[in-house]
Amino acid sequence: MNIIYEDNHIIVVEKPVNVPSQADSTGNKDMLTLIKEYLKEKYQKPGNVYLGLVHRLDRPVGGIMVFAKTSKAASRLSESVRSKEFQKTYLAVVNGHLEDGVLEDYLYKDEALNTTKVVGKEKHNAKFAKLSYEVLEEKDDLSLVKIALETGRHHQIRVQFASRGHALYGDQKYGNGPKNTQIALWAYRLEFKHPVKDEVMHFECKPKQVGIWEQFSI
């Protein structure tokens, strides 16, 4: 496990692709369980180890995550997420060429199908979604974009780009990407106020230069 930072209050790690953030119906090992096992062994803790899940990444998405090692840290970090002081930046490879911009939509999650779609704001249970992005590089008919996520909706990045004809590379759910290809979405940067220290923390974690990522200068 790639541990990027750890102190008495938080632990920042790289989540590998296709590992769940928390336990799901598959029964596969998840990040919460893996980190608890690491903490239990490292500090030789008896019984259950506390670890707070502050935010999530979709199973196929890899990248940087922070977990809280105390309930106090979990509460404060969760509040920073709600107050939008918790900043998340992603890298993605999308189909086509586009200009830098801002995407604003209302999204509706279909619980039964586990999908999300763009709808009118009058739709019951529709939620406002916003992100901004910068085009970093273009290669053939693909673009590498850096995304600042302002709201954290279900499948938000995937849906907002796909709805404009720029589905993420490898996204079989919202695009027509090649089968058995990893979706090109990576949690690249986190910035947040430390839950105890009066200090703004920022961490970065780049995707490995494999697959579609090796075509770009990251």
The one-letter code for the residue type at 171 is: D
Please determine, for residue 178, whether its predicted confidence score (pLDDT) is greater than 80.
Answer: no
Task: Please give the Cα distance from 190 to 192 (Å, whole number).
Answer: 7
Query: For 53-81, how does the pLDDT look when each residue is reduced to its tens digit (9 = 90+)?
Result: 999 999 999 999 999 999 999 999 999 99
Please determine, for residue 33, whether its predicted confidence score (pLDDT) is greater than 90.
Answer: yes
Please name each of the domains of the chain with its CATH number: 3-215 (3.30.2350.10)
What is the pLDDT at residue 106?
98
What is the pLDDT at residue 87?
95
Question: Positive or negative, the Cα torsion across 113, 114, 118, 119?
Answer: positive
Query: For 111-164, how does the pLDDT look when each residue is reduced to its tens digit (9 = 90+)?
Result: 999 999 999 999 999 999 999 999 999 999 999 999 999 998 999 999 999 999
Query: For 46-57, how does the pLDDT look when each residue is reduced to its tens digit (9 = 90+)?
Result: 888 999 999 999
Task: Please give the Cα distance from 137 to 114 (Å, whole number).
Answer: 32
Question: For this structure, is 58 an active site residue?
Answer: yes
- Residue 152, SS3? coil
Which of 7, 24, 30, 58 is labelled catalytic? 58
Task: Please give the Cα distance from 138 to 136 (Å, whole number).
Answer: 7
Task: Please give the Cα distance from 218 to 213 (Å, whole number).
Answer: 8
Task: Please give the Cα distance from 169 to 189 (Å, whole number).
Answer: 20
Q: How does DSSP assign 112-128, residue by residue?
A: TTTEEEEE-TTSTT-EE
